[in-house]
Amino acid sequence: MNNHASAQPSGRHPLVAFAARWLLTTNHKEIGTLYLCLSFLLFFIAGAFAMAIRTELFQPGIQLIEPEFYNQLVTLHGLVMVFGVVMPAFVGLANWMVPMMIGAPDMALPRLNNFSFWILPFAFTLLLSSLFMEGGAPNFGWTFYAPLSTTYGPPSTDFFIFGVHLMGISSVLGAINIIVTILNLRTPGMTLMRMPMFVWTWLITAFLLIMVMPVLAGLVTMMLTDRHFGTSFFDASGGGDPVLFQHIFWFFGHPEVYIMILPGFGIASQIIPTFARKKLFGYNSMVFATASIAFLSFIVWGHHMFTTGMPLFGELFFMYATMLIAVPTGVKVFNWIATMWGGSMTFETPMLFAIGFVVLFTIGGLSGLMLSIVAADFQYHDTFFVVAHFHYVLYPGAIFSTMAAVYYWLPKWTGNMYDERLGKIHFWTASIAVNMTFFPMHFTGLAGMPRRIVDYSPQFADFNMLSSVGAGLLGLTQVLFLYIVIKTIRGGPKATDQVWEGAEGLEWTVPSPAPRHTFETPPSFPGDEPDHAYDQVPGPRDGGDTDEP
C-alpha cells in the first residue's frame, strides 16, 4: 500500500524522502495505512506458523517438526495473531476511520500516534528474533503460565517479556489517543449517542485496553523479577503461588478477548445497515450491550481456571457471570438480524463478510456457552474443543470483520473499486475453508484430543486431515486477498464519493480517494435527524430528543 508515496515531490533523494515521509508522518490516514500493512505482513508470518502446525498434524506421528519446535510454533502463532494481527488491524482501522467518521481533522495527539505505531516493528522484531536464538523461541503457549515461563522458560523468554512491554506501551498510548480524539474532536451536533457504532465500540475497547494492558505489563514485570532478581511471585518455594499467575493473566486475558471482538461488532454495525438500506435497528441497545459486555468481561476471568481447584462457590459465580454475557451478545445478534429484516439487501463482498461474521461468530459464541458450564468444562478443558471455540470467534469474528472493513472502505482509501468477482470468490472459498479447518476440531476435542501436543492418537486422523486440507485452502485464499488489495491500490473502476448506494455517515461525504487532509473545518452534522433507536417506529412522534433514555 506504500506505493502512492513515490509521487511525493522533494529535493531529497527519493529513498530518503520516502523513509522520512513514513517514519515521521503524523497523518492519521498514513499511520492507519502503516498499521494495516504491518498487520497484513504479520498475518502472513503467523499464518505460515499455522501452516507448519497443520502440516505436522496432517497425520498422526511426528513427521516434520520436532516436538520442541512445535511448541514454539504454537506459542508464536498465538502471540503474533493476537498482538500483531488482530489488535494492530483494529487500531489501523480506528486511525483511518474514527477521525473521518466524527468529522475531525486528525487524531488529537498526532505525534504520539506516530510513536505508538513505530514501537510495534521493534516489539515484533524482538519477539520473532527469538526463533533464531540458542534454546529456541518461547515454547510455553501464548498464555505463558508460570512456572513454564519462569522456572522452565528458555533464555529467549526475556526477549518475549520486553516485546510484550513494548506492545503494551503502544496499545495504551494508542488507546489514550483514540479516547481523547472521540471525546474532544467530534463535529458540533454529534452527541455521544449519535456517534457511528464503530466509534462507540472503539471508545469502549480503548477503555478496556487502558484498564488491562498495564496489568499484562505488570505480570511480565513480575516474571522478569522472578527470573532474574530473586523475587518469588509465582514460586511456591519462596512463598509465591503459580495459581496467582493465572488469576492475573486472565484478569487481563478475558477483557483482551473482547478487545479483539468489539471493534468487529462495530464494523458489522456499520456495514449491515448500508447494504440492507435501513438504519441500524436498536442503536441505543447496541451501545448499552457493548458497554455491558465490557463490564462483564472483568468479572468472568475465573472460567479459564475451573480445573485449578477453585471452590464450588467460585465456579458457580464465574459460570453464571459468563452465561450472563450471552444476553448482551444475543441483543447484538438479534439487532443485526432485525436490521436486515425487511431491508432491500444486496450482497456485495463487505456485506457477505459481515453476514458470515454474524453467522459464524454466533457458532463460536454458542460453543463458548458450552464451555462456561463447569461440569462440562472439566471434560472440554485443554482439548481441541477449546481450540475450535476460540478460532471460531477469532477467525470469522475478528479476521472476517477486518476483511469486511477493508472491502467496505478500500474504495474510499484508494479511490478505486476492488474486483467484485474476485472478492466474492475470496469470501466463498474463505468461508468453506474456515469451516473445514475449524469445525472438525469440535469433534476431535469432544472425543478427547488434547491441544498443544505435536502428536495424536490415530482415531483422530481423518478429522485432522480434513482440518489440514482446509487450513491449506484458507492460507491460499488470503494470498488471493493480498492480490485483490494490491490490484485495487494500483487501479480499477473509479469509486464515487458515496461509494455504496446505502452508505451514510461523514466519511462518505469526502472525495474518493480521501485526500490527505479532511475536515479541516468541522463539517455540519444534521441536527434535526430523528434519534437512531426509534426511527423505525412509525407513529405520530417525530422522534428527536424526547426519545433519549
Partner 1 sequence: MAGILMNRKLQSKHTALLALLAVGMFGFAFALVPLYTVFCELTGLNGKTSGRAAVIETAVQESDRVVTVQFLARVGKGLPWEFRPSEPQLRVRLGKIYTTTYFARNRASESVTGQAVPSVAPGVAALHLQKVECFCFRQQVLTANQVLEMPVQFFVDTQLPEDIHTLSLSYTMYPVAELENTDLAQLRR
Which residues from 197-236 bind partner 1, rule CB under 8 A? Answer: 210-219, 221-222, 228-230, 233, 236
Q: How many residues does the chain have?
A: 549
Is 142 labeled as catalytic in the residue annotation? yes
309, 526, 538, 539: residue in contact with partner 1 (rule CB under 8 A): 309
- Which CB, 164 or 351, lies closer to partner 1? 164
Is 250 labeled as catalytic in the residue annotation? no
The distance in angstroms from the start CA to the end CA of the chain is: 44
- Which CB, 249 or 275, lies closer to partner 1? 249
Tell the burial category of 425 from Cβ atoms under 10 Å away from its Cβ (0-12, 13-18, 19+). Answer: middle
Dist CA 445 CA 465 (whole Å): 15
Marked catalytic residue, from 150, 181, 201, 329: 329
Determine if 238 is a binding residue for partner 1 (CB under 8 A).
yes
Q: Supply the Cα-derived Rg of the chain in whole angstroms.
A: 23
CA dihedral 482→485→491→492, nearest 10 degrees, is 110
105, 314, 492, 543: residue in contact with partner 1 (rule CB under 8 A): 314
Is 22 labeled as catalytic in the residue annotation? no
4, 21, 194, 247: residue in contact with partner 1 (rule CB under 8 A): 247
In order of 420, 430, 477, 489, 503, the CA distances from 425 in angstroms are 9, 8, 9, 19, 24
The piece of 94-102, 116-124, 169-177, 372-380 that touches partner 1 (CB under 8 A) is 169-177
Is 303 labeled as catalytic in the residue annotation? yes
| Total site size for partner 1, rule CB under 8 A | 41
**What secondary structure, in 3-state letters, does 296-343 show?**
HCCCCHHHHCHHHCCCHHHHHHHHHHHHHCHHHHHHHHHHHHHHHCCC
Determine if 311 is a binding residue for partner 1 (CB under 8 A).
yes
Dist CA 169 CA 188 (whole Å): 32
Which residues from 133-162 bind partner 1, rule CB under 8 A? Answer: 151
Is 401 labeled as catalytic in the residue annotation? no
Dist CA 293 CA 328 (whole Å): 6
CA angle 513, 515, 518 (to 5 degrees): 125
Determine if 241 is a binding residue for partner 1 (CB under 8 A).
yes
Marked catalytic residue, from 30, 256, 315, 507: 256
Is 256 labeled as catalytic in the residue annotation? yes
CA dihedral 78→271→290→97, nearest 10 degrees, is 80
Marked catalytic residue, from 194, 247, 277, 451: 451
Determine if 516 is a binding residue for partner 1 (CB under 8 A).
no
Question: Which residues form the catalytic set?
Answer: 77, 106, 142, 170-171, 254, 256, 258, 269, 303-304, 329, 332, 451
Residues that bind partner 1 (CB under 8 A): 108-109, 151, 172, 175-176, 179-180, 183-185, 210-219, 221-222, 228-230, 233, 236-239, 241, 243-244, 247-248, 251, 309-311, 314
